[in-house]
Chain A
């Protein structure tokens, strides 16, 4: 066990070299609807039980199912209205269970990235070989259902092993949404590949605001507007990233979706300054244009620790 994952180096937010998004935009905005499948009777993982209380949990299961039957359509139509494309955080088994939803996304030219097989199957306890199989399954399942090669990863239910990020880099993924240390992308220290830590803005995730913090819809809208305004202001110095990670079973509830629209309206009123993109587009732009300059600047700060994730350089032996 390690005290520090050593997945990235310390990089103070001030004085970084300037990032400019395409068209000279200051803020890259992306929206990540989580399209998930929670199993009715999942097996137990010794580190975490799948449902609060007991399994099955009909209220919780059916609320997730509401997301798939009602919520996504509501959210898709709202995003259409603002000409926004989603980057779907996908439990890939949904391709098997509900292909209609995948078709709806493909029609809209949305991007998919993997959020594991099911949100009720955690990474804890998987061997690297088993985790590799999950990744191959993710790549192949989405390719078959949509023709897309996925490039992003968010571990199912934010559960990890020490090997997770090395494995996704090895499988030619471009970005990870698993780390929340920054409002700008940063190179990750994986054994192979070029893997970007993509800001996924966990604090403004509707699970955090609605289920954990107990916000009402109006407070969530205020928060999103303020978050956006501050990051846009700072994006003048060097381009920032804002993501809104969403769950239709929460945000697309009948009492919440209209207040949420107010936040989108506010953000979309800044077309001149904002690059409306998908996760893959942001990652590619960063890798193509800013990977080297970021590493050079991190190095210049003099606090690179060397080694790779969970594989620190051991000094003095």
Chain B
């Protein structure tokens, strides 16, 4: 991998994926509202997608597999957002709040 160009080396993409994963988990821990946690989850999904695409681009004999997997991740993320937001709206209707501290009826 003695390529002079910055964008043709897998290291940049792998470090980007690790950074996105760390940022997403940090947000998932720190956010206090359900929508904020959902946004952080999207960042984690993006990290997984970048990792799949980077490894597929540089180390896989089949260039299509990673793209198909990332398309499936996009579909799953869209489904997750649809269901998650409808749950958030239902929670807001019942509790008048979407802070994760207030939704603790089943807390033992």
Bound pair (A, B): no
On B, residues with C-beta under 8 Å from A are none
Report which A residues bind B (CB closer than 8 A).
Answer: none
